[in-house]
Amino acid sequence: MNSITPFQRLVRGRRSIRKYFKRPVEREKILTCLEAARLAPSADNVEPWRFIVLDDPKVKEAFASEAFAGIYSPTRFAAKAPVLIVIPARLDIIANRIGKQIQGTQYYLIDIGIAGEHIVLQAQELGLGTCWIGWFNAKRARKFLRIPSKYKVVALIAMGYYEGRTLKEKRRRALDDIVWFNGFGGKYQ
């Protein structure tokens, strides 16, 4: 792995951003990110995701006062992002229920993770910063947005323009520590 591909450069450059400029994000860029999410794979191709975009400052602030209250206040920084994307998952899909019973895996969470990663990588390519948020009051978020009970609010993604400074290389485990071929625990070579 001597040469770094454009995709690897994109992945290496992506960070969770917590400070944003007030500059609004163009709807075209938001829709480009959501189109990338729409194209994500999902278990049995059920596409359990839905996306609610909050880009009106007053709506976003009212939402934040509910979703980031009390023990969720450490995530309040997200209210200052020009865009919050709320990601509910549809729960009444039979493939997800069967997968949970037989495999013990909640596939909708994997599906939402893949779609969310498509959003953040597309945003990075467009010069936008993002932060995946899982620490919020999901019940209050659902109530505020009047989301039906067959959906579960799984995640939020804060998005906006940020100061593009040079960041240190991410500290990650070496491939030797996490990759094995043809069995668990062998050395990767």
Residue 175 lies in a domain: no
What residues contact residue 179 under an 8 Å CB cut-off, 6+ apart?
188
Residue 9 scores a pLDDT above 70: yes
Residue 64 lies in a domain: yes
Q: Could you read off the pLDDT of 62-99 as tens digits, one per residue? A: 999 999 999 999 999 999 999 999 999 998 777 667 76
Residue 8 lies in a domain: no
Residue 61 lies in a domain: yes
Q: Which residues pair with 122 in a beta bridge?
A: none
Domain of 136, in residue numbers: 19-162
Q: Could you read off the pLDDT of 93-112 as tens digits, one per residue? A: 776 677 677 777 788 999 99
| HSE, side-chain direction, 13 A CA sphere, residue 119 | 30
Residue 13 lies in a domain: no
Residue 9 lies in a domain: no
C-beta separation of 96 from 106 below 8 A:
yes
DSSP per-residue codes, 57-118: HHHHHHHHHHHT-GGGGGGGGGGGSSEEEEEEEE---HHHHHHHHHHS--HHHHHHHHHHHH
Domain with 63 in it: what CATH number? 3.40.109.10
How many whole angstroms separate alpha carbon 4 and alpha carbon 96? Answer: 37
The number of domains in the chain is 1
Residue from 136, 140, 139, 157 nearest 33 by CA: 157
